[in-house]
């Protein structure tokens, strides 16, 4: 199972939201855990940030699944009456963007 870290963003993500995100990533067979915030998390538009832990690139099947998962995460926030992320990004250990998806407003 591949590991991915989800950046906590206390301005936008509460404990229930994080549990939903982690559960959705688990459905992709990703071992997901929260990690401390690394950005300010301020502003009207926010990015859901994740960090890919394996040394290799993200498998194509996982990338395809991430698109579906990102849409489900957006839907969760909309259903909860919260501002959804405008973008989901996965960074590598070196800080480079490995995968990103701009989310449409629901």
Largest CA distance in the chain: 37
CA 81/CA 92 separation, integer angstroms: 31
Q: Is the pLDDT of residue 71 over 90?
A: yes
Q: Is the pLDDT of residue 55 over 70?
A: yes
The ranges assigned to domains in the chain are 1-38+45-51
Render 8-38 in DSSP notation, one character per residue.
--TTT--HHHHHHHHHHHHTTTEEEEEE---
- In this prediction, residue 97 carries a pLDDT of 95
Residue predicted with more confidence, 41 or 30: 30
Q: Is the pLDDT of residue 68 over 80?
A: yes
Do 15 and 55 contact (CB within 8 A), yes or no?
A: no
34 exposure class (CB count in 10 Å sphere: 0-12, 13-18, 19+)? middle
Q: Is the pLDDT of residue 42 over 70?
A: no
């Amino acid at each position: 199972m591949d590991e991915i870290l989800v950046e906590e963003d206390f301005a936008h993500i509460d404990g229930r939201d994080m549990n939903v995100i982690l559960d959705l990533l688990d459905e992709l067979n990703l071992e997901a855990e929260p990690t401390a915030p690394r950005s300010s998390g301020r502003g009207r538009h926010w990015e859901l940030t994740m960090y890919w832990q394996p040394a290799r690139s993200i498998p194509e099947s996982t990338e395809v699944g991430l698109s579906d998962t990102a849409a489900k995460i957006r839907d969760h926030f909309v259903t909860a009456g919260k501002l959804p992320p405008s973008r989901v990004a996965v960074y590598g250990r070196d800080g480079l963007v490995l995968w990103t998806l701009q989310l449409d407003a629901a």
